[in-house]
Structure 1
Amino acid sequence: MTERRYVLELAYRGTAYSGWQRQPNALSVEETIDSALSTILGVPIKLVGCGRTDAGVHASDYVAHFDYAGTLPPRLLPRLNRYLPEDIALYQLAEADDRFHARFSATGRSYEYRISPRKDPFRVDTVTWLPAFGSLDRDAMQAAAGLLLDYGEFAPFCKTNSDAFTMKCTMTESEWDFGAAELRYRVSANRFLRGMVRLIVGTCLQVGTDKLSLDRLKEVMDRQERLPRPLSAPAEGLFLTEVRYPGRTDWPTVS
């Protein structure tokens, strides 16, 4: 039988995992779903995800694809959800054109970072607690976030061991929402470098606590050099919230 390409829309809480991508000595989200699909379909299945997420990072909207030559069993999605642990949820299974690629067909991605002013035992792994919440210079943080929209390369916000072939990203959104109960940073771009969002959040916090000036940040961006003392915000506050594709709403659901 001819292989067909299928798309999975899903969400996961990343606390227990080494990230999306399969790792040799640690449990990943990819490996967990691969195992469930392979068990139920009876053949080895290898998912291709829309991108990496770091250990402990979450996704409220994640997209992956896989190829399968057989006939899908009835009620596959509910069966998979029963098989998978409670921190992974599959929302939709659809058939896609064989030219579709979860990573390379994506036209944009959005992330959100969440910061709480108080320690919350019910959200230990899904929000970052910042005791200095009330003393932040919010205007300076917003200015730092907005400054990034003037640039098309982001070498200062890429981990040093990255294998990225280019530092170019087209950023379309970068702003803070300063709610009374929670701070949220939202950022959208066509692509992101490894560790980029957590480094941006950390830099904004450094600006907001007067540990880094806006002038110095601009100088670093103009020169595309490393930040003087880079700060990567903790993983638990970060969520991948949207992955955009042409015609996504038209994908035909099969389960």
Structure 2
Amino acid sequence: MRYFFEIAYNGKNYAGWQSQANATGIQTVVEDALSKLLRTPIRIVGSGRTDTGVHCEQQFFHCDLEKLPFDYATLLQKLNSFLPRDVAIPSIRRVKDDASARYDAVERTYHYRITRKKNPFKEGLAWHYFKTADVQTMNSAAALLLGEHDFECFSKVKTDVNHFLCDIKKAAWREEGDLLEFTITANRFLRGMVRAVVGTLLDVGTGKTSLKEFQAIIQSRDRKKAGANVPPYGLYLSKVKYPPSVFVKES
């Protein structure tokens, strides 16, 4: 039987999602905990990758289990006790046997969080950006991202994707006091895309790049023309959406 596990984590101490030979990925931590708890080797498939230092408020992975030894509440309690404090499993749901946490996801939402004022309580959880940026102008630029476009200009150069098309549903900045947050929702994202988008939008907000130049950057498909990546610790994978049809209704 196949299950979707919801997961959240503080990415500070991890080299992203994926298991790696010379660094600790979230995938390895979870597989080790599940394998110890269930006393059998467990392999999981995530809804996507996150880079080193990126945080996650909601992600999913799937795995196949012959039979759950506990009810959901007990399994959650025991699994969370096996995991480190900066990783949590909020929920478990039964899904169809051919459901995929990666390929069945229809939308993903990221937030990038900035603090305008040095704040020790946001250290490692938001980027302290001291320059003045025009939020209205950045939102005008963000609107140019909406729809399906080739976003190769915002992708890491060495990547194994078949194409660079992404359909962006939402892209907007929100300002509240000293906090500045960018939200972006799409059907898929390229490697390093959100951090490159944020860096380029900040160039627009500070007057370094005009709206016309921003549009030209998108059309160029050239990563060298876009802005620098912002730091990973301000980035959060916040929501992954699936069609209701993948879930099994349980009594």
Per the normalisation by structure 1, the TM-score is: 0.92
Counterpart in 2 of 1:15? 12
Instruction: Tell me, in whole angstroms, the C-alpha distance in 2 between the residues paired with 1:161 and 1:249.
Output: 33
Spell out the pairing of 1:146-185 with structure 2 (5 A cutoff): 146-185=143-182
Q: For residues 117-162 of structure 1, give each alpha carbon's deviation from its aligned partner in whole angstroms, at most 9, with x where no partner exists.
A: 1112122111111111xx2122221111111115521011100111
Q: For residues 40-66 of structure 1, give each alpha carbon's deviation from its aligned partner in whole angstroms, at most 9, with x where no partner exists.
A: 111110110000000110111110000
Residue 230, structure 1, aligned to residue 195, structure 2: no
How far residue 170 of structure 1 moved from its aligned partner, in angstroms, is 0.7
The SS at the match of 1:169 is: strand
Counterpart in 2 of 1:193? 190
Instruction: Tell me, in whole angstroms, the C-alpha distance in 1 between the residues paired with 2:68 and 2:154.
Output: 45
Counterpart in 2 of 1:240? 237
Spell out the pairing of 1:12-161 with structure 2 (5 A cutoff): 12-74=9-71, 75-132=74-131, 135-161=132-158
The SS at the match of 2:195 is: helix
Q: Name stretches of at least 5 consecutive residues in structure 1 with no aligned partner.
A: none
Residue 5, structure 1, aligned to residue 2, structure 2: yes
How far residue 196 of structure 1 moved from its aligned partner, in angstroms, is 0.4
Instruction: Tell me, in whole angstroms, the C-alpha distance in 2 between the residues paired with 1:107 and 1:25.
Output: 32
Q: For residues 174-199 of structure 1, give each alpha carbon's deviation from its aligned partner in whole angstroms, at most 9, with x where no partner exists.
A: 11112222111000000000000000
User: 1:205 pairs with 202, 212, 217, which one?
Assistant: 202
Instruction: Tell me, in whole angstroms, the C-alpha distance in 1 between the residues paired with 2:129 and 2:48.
Output: 28
Instruction: Tell me, in whole angstroms, the C-alpha distance in 2 between the residues paired with 1:104 and 1:233.
Output: 28
* Matched residue type, 1:124: E
Asked if structure 2 preserves the Cα contact closer than 8 Å seen for 1:92 and 1:253, the reply is no
Q: For residues 55-104 of structure 1, give each alpha carbon's deviation from its aligned partner in whole angstroms, at most 9, with x where no partner exists.
A: 11011111000012244235111011111111011111121111110000
Asked if structure 2 preserves the Cα contact closer than 8 Å seen for 1:10 and 1:62, the reply is yes
Equivalenced residue count is 249
Per the normalisation by structure 2, the TM-score is: 0.94
The SS at the match of 1:82 is: helix
Percentage identity across paired residues of the two chains: 37
How far residue 249 of structure 1 moved from its aligned partner, in angstroms, is 9.9
Instruction: Tell me, in whole angstroms, the C-alpha distance in 2 between the residues paired with 1:128 and 1:73.
Output: 41
Deviates more, 1:209-218 or 1:40-49: 209-218
* CA RMSD between the two structures: 1.8
Change (3 A) 1:177 1:7: same
Change (3 A) 1:194 1:77: same
Change (3 A) 1:145 1:73: same
Q: Name stretches of at least 5 consecutive residues in structure 2 with no aligned partner.
A: none
Instruction: Tell me, in whole angstroms, the C-alpha distance in 1 between the residues paired with 2:223 and 2:80.
Output: 43
